[in-house]
Chain A
Amino acid sequence: MRNFSITGRCLAAPPPADWREQLTQLLGAKPRRIGTWAELGLYGALSCMADAGEKTLPPDAILLLTSRRGTYAATSAALTQMHNDLPLPLTFLQTQPSQLLALLAAQMDWIGHACFLADAQSQDLLRLATAQMGGGGALLGCVDETNGGSTRWLRLRHDVTEKYDFVSIFSDWMGAAE
């Protein structure tokens, strides 16, 4: 296992009462038609990047996102719409977790490797991040809108000098989400 340093973090579980206002500030405008899960994801990721002092990721960075329930609310809405008619196009798009990856990439003006892994366990997510991470490091997120909502993000960079037990720290970070 390689050594990492945590250069930015956001742990909002639950998010602060004014998180939507903060998100509007981060985006420069109110988000439109993207759903609460994606809004929470944007809020957490952009807060984490701000904490890291970065506006975008390097081209060889990776973005891995996980969630216990993901697009549960949007999928429920789409299924309800399907009782009598086709789902609304935007509702259907919101059922796809990858839409958040696209939103994040667009917001950061970044093009790169991003994946959604549903309900990933901490050790599995870290193993994959370690194997796929390039010199640009990783942005890891865990976002849920159920049970009051939560958005947890870490910005990781390789750091050969770090000596702490990162596996334990990462498991603790994910632990609250599991």
Chain B
Amino acid sequence: MSPVYLSGRGLACALGLELGASVASLKSRCDATSFYSLPGQPDVRFPYRSIACDKGDWSARACQLVRRVAYEAGAQHIRGGVLFIATSSFDIGAVEQGESGMDYKAFADKVASWLDWTGPVYLMSTACTSSLNAMIAVHALLSTGELTDALVLGVELDNRLTLGGFAALQLLTRHRSKPFGVDRDGLVLGEAVAALRFSTREVSSWRMLGGANVVDGRQPTSASASAVTSMYQRALANSGLAADAIDLIKVQAAGSPGNDAIEAQGLRDMFQIIPPLVSLKAVIGHTMGASGAAEVALLTACLEQGVWPTYADAVDDILDVHLTAHQPESVHRVMATILGFGGGHATVVMERA
């Protein structure tokens, strides 16, 4: 199997228009929350982590962000490689504005044309686990040695349908995201465009060892503890690691009353000693299909620069898990997890040289 390296990263999110700016904003504790009102809910304002980028028509804004982020990741060097676009909402924002119809192929072609992409294009949509599943697919494809370069592009941009759907399901907080928090009451959604460039040719300080995606359909809108456990077991097995080899886990912990408790139970069931945990949802929001790539980009950069999120809210003691307040001293192997709609549970394993 060919080793698969994370050779480039790019990120636009509520913290900034590029990865470096995002890490700097996180370091300076910059809070970038905006608010959103929805039809039929005139008196309710939902917090939202939007990208500070000029509003125009949806596609022009998306094009600007995708190009910028892909360039930051070095996508211009691998245009003949494999492109995975990962999203839960496609270009529904453009549909809402009357700019385009609902057409997967047209969306994929549009994004590929923005990047002058010449290689194969996949459009992965497994709700919130989309970009982690794209990473897992890329790892499998590149490991065979038949392909050498790939770009995972997570795209989740402003649209009313996603916010309206989450509001209808009563999953959103009106306050702030409280990962594993004692009085957590829902999610804060956010926008992100994230690019991860993978290569078997270009050795870098981060290597992807593997990952696992487990769909458990018994609870199609929430996680299950047994699936969380199965996901970690499978990911460790296909990465060739034991549980005690993991130095840090980036958890989902989006502030959901039910799912945070289920995730915590899965962690307790899986690990005799739970590794240090970190959550990034409070700083960039839950960016759904882009969240896996966005949080891997942000986490790896934070680890390199010694920047760490702070948590404003106390963790719920009942959950018996803790978010580590400081960056652990020695972090070589990291798992990054996303749980989502459709019974999706996905995690990836990254190793730092």
Chain A residues in the interface with B (C-beta under 8 A):
63, 67-70, 72, 75-76, 78-79, 82-89, 92-93, 95-99, 101-107, 111-121, 123-124, 127-128, 131-132
Residues of B within 8 A of A92 (CB): 161, 164-165, 168-169
- Are A128 and B141 interface neighbours, CB within 8 A? yes
CB under 8 Å from chain A, chain B span 213-252: 213-218, 220-221, 226-227, 230
Residues of B within 8 A of A95 (CB): 161, 165
Q: Mark B162-195, 1 if CB is under 8 A from A, else 0.
A: 0011011100000000000000000000000000
**Quick one: which of A84, A86, A107 contacts B168, CB cutoff 8 A?**
A86
Q: How far is the CA of A34 from the CA of B129 in the complex (A)?
A: 21
- Are A97 and B220 interface neighbours, CB within 8 A? no
Residues of B within 8 A of A103 (CB): 217, 220
**Cβ contacts A to B, 5 pairs, < 8 Å:** A86-B41, A96-B342, A101-B343, A127-B120, A132-B137
Q: How far is the CA of A93 from the CA of B215 in the complex (A)?
A: 16
Question: Does B127 reach chain A (CB closer than 8 Å)?
Answer: yes
Q: Name the distance in Å between A27's Cβ and chain B's nearest Cβ.
A: 13
Residues of B within 8 A of A69 (CB): 102-104
- Are A131 and B141 interface neighbours, CB within 8 A? yes
Taking A102-B342, A113-B214 as known contacts, 20 extra A-B pairs with beta carbons closer than 8 A to each other, sorted by chain A number, are A68-B104, A75-B102, A75-B161, A78-B164, A79-B92, A86-B40, A88-B168, A102-B217, A105-B216, A106-B217, A107-B217, A111-B214, A111-B215, A115-B126, A117-B122, A119-B108, A119-B123, A124-B120, A131-B144, A132-B136
**Quick one: which of B90, B103, B122 contacts A124, CB cutoff 8 A?**
B122
Q: Name the distance in Å between B243's Cβ and chain A's nearest Cβ.
A: 19
Residues of A within 8 A of B341 (CB): 93, 96, 98-99
Q: Name the distance in Å between A69's Cβ and chain B's nearest Cβ.
A: 7
- Are A87 and B168 interface neighbours, CB within 8 A? yes
Residues of A within 8 A of B103 (CB): 69
Q: How far is the CA of A118 from the CA of B124 in the complex (A)?
A: 6
Q: How large is the interface on B (under 10, 10 to 19, 20 to 34, 35 or more residues)?
A: 35 or more
Residues of A within 8 A of B115 (CB): none
Q: Name the distance in Å between A14's Cβ and chain B's nearest Cβ.
A: 21
Q: Name the distance in Å between A113's Cβ and chain B's nearest Cβ.
A: 5
- Are B88 and A96 interface neighbours, CB within 8 A? yes
**Quick one: which of B95, B127, B141, B160 contacts A96, CB cutoff 8 A?**
B127
Q: Mark B114-125, 1 if CB is under 8 A from A, else 0.
A: 000000101111
Q: Name the distance in Å between A71's Cβ and chain B's nearest Cβ.
A: 9
- Are A82 and B39 interface neighbours, CB within 8 A? yes
Q: How far is the CA of A85 from the CA of B168 in the complex (A)?
A: 9
Q: Name the distance in Å between A81's Cβ and chain B's nearest Cβ.
A: 8
- Are B168 and A131 interface neighbours, CB within 8 A? no
- Are A114 and B215 interface neighbours, CB within 8 A? yes
Known: A68-B104, A78-B161, A85-B39. Is A128-B122 also a contact (CB below 8 A)?
Answer: yes
Q: Which 4 A-B pairs have the closest CB atoms?
A: A98-B342, A106-B217, A92-B165, A85-B40
Question: Does B331 reach chain A (CB closer than 8 Å)?
Answer: no
- Are A131 and B215 interface neighbours, CB within 8 A? no
**Quick one: which of B126, B165, B214 contacts A98, CB cutoff 8 A?**
B126
- Are A105 and B217 interface neighbours, CB within 8 A? yes
Q: Closest residue to A113 on the B side, CB-wise?
A: B213
Q: How far is the CA of A99 from the CA of B344 in the complex (A)?
A: 10
- Are B214 and A112 interface neighbours, CB within 8 A? yes
Q: Closest residue to B127 on the A side, CB-wise?
A: A98
Q: Name the distance in Å between A72's Cβ and chain B's nearest Cβ.
A: 5
